[in-house]
Amino acid sequence: MSVGSVTLKKNERNMVGISIGGGAPYCPVLYVVQVFDKSPAGDSGLILPGDELTAVNERSVKGFTKAQVAKRIQGVGESVTLYYNRLTEECGRPADIVWKTIKHKLVESMNPDTADSLGFSRAILVKDRLVQKVLDFESSAKAFSVLVCKLQAFMLALRSTSYLQKVFGDVLAEIGVKSTQPDAHRALTLFGSVHRDIGKSGMNTANALVTVLKDLGTFLGKAVPDMKLTLKKYANTKFNYLSFCLKVKEMDDEDYYFITCGEPLPRLLSGNYHYRQILRERHKARIEFKTMRSAVTSKLEFMELKRVQDISFQLERLMRCLFEYYKWTSERLRDGNVFPIEVNLDLSMPFAQTYTEECDDDEDGK
């Protein structure tokens, strides 16, 4: 351990922002259990959970109870100097912490009734406001995924239809060119031209939809997977922090039980060193959890902004593109209206006269 000191200016509530554990009569060591956020101790960043408190304003607190130390800190002036021995050895992630983390992941994905029947409690899981935001994000991503699939199918169908319209227009134009009747020539040539124009417009519309699909695909293919990876990391840090919280609670319950029975644990009598190591690891896990939570919150806000702005813009482009295609097609068809027309089938279809004569011969034979 290394020796250190920190001078803290107390807040308006006459506190420095730490909670104290240990002390007489069960533990020979007084130590920091928790350092609160936005407090003098938390802002200093010098004294941490697990550190041993040795003196207050150069007066030793050895043999004091934690209540007596708290009273001494509150009884001094506007500032107080705390002396401590730094906890330097770390315990890392013990096997039971790893198991608790795995259990949290399992319970999180379970139905509450299933978890209860297996004896897994969900009560230790904090109420996470990000869960609803994540669910909304996943629901939105799923909706856009369906839209992309349908739009892709529509684009392929539009390409196929546009190609058929072009071929159909070519056939009509060819028939019109070969027709010897002015009305038929004009009608078929015009219809052929209209269908070829519609086919060309459909191809242009399909090409415009490719750009919309590409932009939507970027959102679904890159932004959404990256968001899911971030959420996975966030879940791991959350479950790790919750596991250390549960471990501390179990050790507190164990201490209370044995003290109530009048048989303090050996680890208490020896300074509760392992417990202090767990407190330090919980503190580190909490900082990591807060950092990751802030990152996830910022990324979700960015994704929501992107969804509202960029995706809305892409949907507007899609609607405008389809509207212009349908409007132009409708107007082009109205422009090509040449009805009524008269076509002399005897002149345009030589086989019609032969077919009529054959029918007359059949009737005479009967």
- On whether both 215 and 291 belong to a single domain, the answer is yes
Please identify, among 86, 121, 150, the residue that sits at the C-terminal boundary of a domain.
86
Identify the residue whose tokens are 């939809």: 209
3-state secondary structure of 218: helix
Domain stop point among 86, 109, 144: 86
Q: How many helices (H) and strands (E) does the chain have?
A: 12, 6
Which tens digits make up the pLDDT trace of 255-267? 888 888 877 788 8
Distance CA 101, CA 278 (A): 15
- Distance between CA 319 and CA 310 in Å, rounded? 14
Residue 238: which domain range?
A: 130-345
| Nearest residue to 50 (alpha-carbon basis) of 85, 5, 17 | 85
pLDDT at 351: 44
Q: Give a yes or no: residue 120 inside a domain.
A: no
Please give the model's pTM, rounded to 2 decimal places.
0.67
The secondary element (H helix, E strand) that includes residue 52 is strand 52-56
Give tens-digit pLDDT for 282-327: 999 999 999 998 888 888 888 777 777 777 788 888 899 899 999 9
CB-CB contact of 184 with 283 (8 Å): no
Tokens representing 190 are 């015009």
CATH number of the domain residue 73 falls in: 2.30.42.10
Pair (134, 60) in one structural domain: no
Residue 242 has pLDDT above 60, yes or no: yes
The Cα–Cα gap between 183 and 187 comes to 6
Distance CA 88, CA 280 (A): 10
Q: Are residues 151 and 236 in the same domain?
A: yes
pLDDT at position 122, please?
47
Is residue 94 one of the residues assigned to a domain?
Answer: no
Residue range 123-144, pLDDT digits in tens: 444 456 676 677 777 777 787 7
Is the Cβ–Cβ distance between 349 and 181 less than 8 Å?
no
pLDDT in tens, 49-83: 999 999 999 899 999 999 999 999 998 888 999 99
Q: Are residues 312 and 185 in the same domain?
A: yes
